[in-house]
Structure 1
Amino acid sequence: MSAYRAKPSNVPWPPIIAAAALLLSILAGRVFALPLPDTAFLRMIGVLFLLAAIAVDIWSITTLRAARTTIMPTRKSTCLVTAGPYGLSRNPIYCGYVLFLIALGLILANAWFVVFAAATAYGIQRFAIEREELHLLAVFGAEYEAYCRRVRRWV
Structure 2
Amino acid sequence: MQRLLLPPVVWFASVGAMVILQRIWPVAVLPADGRVLAWWAGGVLVLAGLVVAQWHARLFRRIGTNINTFGEPGTLTTAGLFAHTRNPMYLGMLLALAGVALALGTLSPWLLVLQFFVLAQCWYIPLEERKLAARFGRQYADYCRDVRRWI
TM range (shorter): 0.7 to 0.9
Aligned with 2:20: secondary structure? helix
**Quick check: 81-90 or 14-23, which moved more?**
14-23
- CA root-mean-square deviation: 1.8
Partners of 2:60 and 2:67 within 8 A in 1? yes
2:10 matched residue in structure 1: 17
Question: Which amino acid in 2 is paired with 1:68?
Answer: G
Q: Secondary structure at the match of 1:141?
A: helix
Structure richer in helix, relative to its length: 2
Within 5 Å, which residues of 2 pair with 1:4-153? 10=2, 12-34=5-27, 35-38=29-32, 39=34, 40-153=36-149
- By relative contact order (CA 8 Å, sep 6+), the higher-ranking structure is 1
Matched-pair contact (CA < 8 Å) for 1:17–1:124: no
Over the matched positions of the two proteins, sequence identity in percent amounts to 29
Equivalent residue pairs, number? 146
Q: Distance in 1 between matches of 2:79 and 2:88?
A: 11
Q: Any conservation in 1 of the 2:19–2:104 contact (CA below 8 Å)? A: no
SS in 2 for 1:75: coil
Q: Which amino acid aligns with 2:115?
A: A
Deviation at 1:131, TM superposition (A): 0.8
Deviates more, 1:23-32 or 1:48-57: 23-32
* More displaced stretch, 35-44 vs 49-58: 35-44
Identify unmatched segments of 5+ residues in structure 1: 1-9
